[in-house]
Amino acid sequence: MIKTMKYLCALCLLCVVCVSCKDDETYADQKKKERKAVEAFLARDPLILKDSEGNVLLSTSRINVISEEQFEAQGEMTDTAKNEYVMFKKTGIYMQIVRQGVGEKLKSGDNKRIISRYWEYSLMGDSLQSTDKTYFWMTNPEIMDVSMNSGTITASFNIDDEIANGGGAMYMLYGNGSKSVPSGWIVPMSYIKVGRQTSEDGIALVRVLIPHSQGTQTATNTVTPYFYEISYQQMRD
């Protein structure tokens, strides 16, 4: 019964994206709309994101896009004072590291259980889509089993752990029976640290703009880009 209530509440958080496209709208047309939405989002000045109750989630200056080369030259960090986001050409993902976290970056052979909390903003709907940063979801964060092997990171949602309690909002909304973590959520894990933090400042925090091809199945089906703020911290034994 509790899991059913969690699922129904998660659905209430999700603003329905219009998927009924015109018969003559092609995939190319949809991708063109996506590109325009991304360009408009990057150019917003000032950038102010609010939740459904009008609370400000993020208020910054215009996004300053930097290259992967500059990102590497800066020690794989982004300057938040300049509101820098690195753009990864291969995936089309834009990422800002707000806090890198503590400990070490994932290395080959590592297997870690990571807790995440997030909010999700639809660029097409220009509104908050979903979040687990609410009182209702405090006991149900996203829990991921993460592995690094030969430079490749894989991750799956853990819904069986006692703390997981059937899964968090992201899994409830988009899982559809699959425990696969969206690629766009995995990319930041190559650049953050997920050691044992002693305070909130030690919890890694990133902001990512994820195109449909790297997002959830819903994002893929509707060709919709989403903007996320996601925290990552290692789960205690």
User: Domain containing 130: what range?
Assistant: 2-234
Mean pLDDT to the nearest integer, 173-187: 90
Identify the CATH number of the domain in which residue 174 sits: 3.10.50.40
The 10s digit of each residue's pLDDT in 75-124 is 999 999 999 999 999 999 999 999 999 988 999 999 999 999 999 999 99
Q: How many domains does the chain have?
A: 1
Query: What is the number of other CB atoms lying within 10 angstroms of the CB of residue 106?
Result: 21
For the cut 90, the answer to whether the pLDDT of residue 29 exceeds it is: yes
Position 237 confidence tier, pLDDT thresholds 50, 70, 90: low
Position 139 confidence tier, pLDDT thresholds 50, 70, 90: confident
Residue type, 11: L
